[in-house]
Structure 1
């Protein structure tokens, strides 16, 4: 399969280009074209091998949830002209990610396990174990780094440093919690638990918009609802749909993104397993059957579809 490592297009009217960890973003005067590549990142490092169909899963999952939450907050999406491409409004991003956590998992658990009871200014109760449900969903923001690691930050720091105005930040909090509530309800309909996720927002003509991906495997963690209680009772790991399994594999092989560490080799079989897990997540989370995009020459397909979209 021809996985999409990167794109290097040039389009008429294009005003800029930015390559993120996963997406290649083409700027136009009033629009952005985001190409979801098959790159995969963990610990803020892009891993050496792309994952076939990962970009399509990411793009189509995000589009599904953007459409399903448009009544809560306006979002940037205008069109999905290709399985790997979204076209939308150009917004000015806020320099924070709104991370919402309903359970003590992942980074939050690792912080708690190491003895800390304050995360991003939020106090956590004693006596919790990994994957326990929190008394109420919490927001643990992080700075949005263009390069390197995103960093935890508190609400108080965001406001005192003027990263986001208080009026806007209150609105971001309200939107983030409402989106998490909707995501939780949609996950429950599919037999899943939305554990935690992150939201990114931007400003367009003075209005807050939801931007980037929403409730995807790269931005969210899901548990299976039917086994959650029994696994917690037995102190067993939770079966989950997210890319946490990739992080766990990296940790087990001595890599956590720290200086001097080397990314372990990714075998063909391991790459296939990741593809399978991403497709499973798409089908389970959205309730839709995955229809693979044409892979003979995906770059030509993508370029043709973008040209048609920007010329419409």
Structure 2
């Protein structure tokens, strides 16, 4: 099985390209974005040395499903998916803030809580909470969007005071974030899953706020299985989850947290394939359909180039 870890396309009308941690984004005439979901995988803000076969297809197709399923809540950037690993959409000016919303105390928030933190991004946290406990109501804990390195926690008040986002736009993003999370929670519950936390990114085009990037994928979200949640919570046992947290946990178990001087553990073919299987499992659970693997035995880049070029030439 092949994995796509690098792209270097030259599409019709291409003006520039941005290589992110996982996605490569091509600017077409300052009007469209071609977003290629590669098979790269990152954790602790580090791109791991091996790609995960079918991961890009999984992420792209989950995101497309949820963008379509939430377009009645908020306008979004998506126009088409001309290839299993590609979404083409409107080019928006992205806000330099990520809207993270949490329904449960887990992950980095729990790690901070354990260290005595009782306020996260300006939000007061109740005393006496346990790991994986549900918040009385979901909380929004935004971060600044870093070009490189770590994203930083920030409060609503700081975002507005620093002029990162206007008060009006921020409050609209906040409203959209709660509504998207409520829809994602409903859709997850229908499949026997709990949407634990997630992040949304927004941008602006012609004065209008749009939802951009991916939503409700295992790279941007954490899911627990609903079955057994309460029993595991009461016993203080780890939850069975579908998210990238299992990769982070594997790295932590091998003494890697992205800190200086730490070595990424060896990713054997067996481990890589197990991660691929977990991504496919999430797709099938959250979308509720069998995952159809796109042909990846030939040149993945050539397939993408052909499909995207054909789409752009029809525009």
In structure 2, the residue matched to 1:120 is 121
- Partners of 2:274 and 2:128 lie apart in 1 by 35
Q: Does 1:26 align with 2:14?
A: no
- Partners of 1:172 and 1:144 lie apart in 2 by 15
- Partners of 2:95 and 2:27 lie apart in 1 by 18
Cα distance per residue 1:194-238 (max 9 Å; x no partner): 000000000011000000000000000000001101111111110
Tell me the TM-score normalised to structure 1 length. Answer: 0.99
- Contiguous gaps of at least 5 residues in structure 1: none
User: Aligned runs of 1:1-312 on 2, under 5 Å?
Assistant: 1-29=1-29, 30-295=31-296, 296-312=298-314
Q: Secondary structure at the match of 1:226?
A: coil
- Contiguous gaps of at least 5 residues in structure 2: none
CA drift of 1:265 comes to 1.1
> Quick check: 2:25–2:36 contact (8 Å CA) kept in 1?
yes
CA drift of 1:12 comes to 2.5
Q: Secondary structure at the match of 1:15?
A: strand
Q: Secondary structure at the match of 1:162?
A: coil
> Quick check: 2:4–2:39 contact (8 Å CA) kept in 1?
yes
Tell me the TM-score normalised to structure 2 length. Answer: 0.98
Alignment length, in residue pairs?
312
Cα distance per residue 1:24-66 (max 9 Å; x no partner): 1110121000010000000111000000000000000000000
CA drift of 1:170 comes to 0.3
RMSD of equivalent CA atoms: 0.6
CA drift of 1:289 comes to 0.8
- Partners of 1:131 and 1:122 lie apart in 2 by 18
Cα distance per residue 1:45-97 (max 9 Å; x no partner): 10000000000000000000000000000000000000000000000000000
- Partners of 1:219 and 1:95 lie apart in 2 by 16
Cα distance per residue 1:230-260 (max 9 Å; x no partner): 1111111100000000000111111111122
- Partners of 2:260 and 2:124 lie apart in 1 by 30
Of 68-77 and 1-10, the range deviating more from structure 2: 1-10
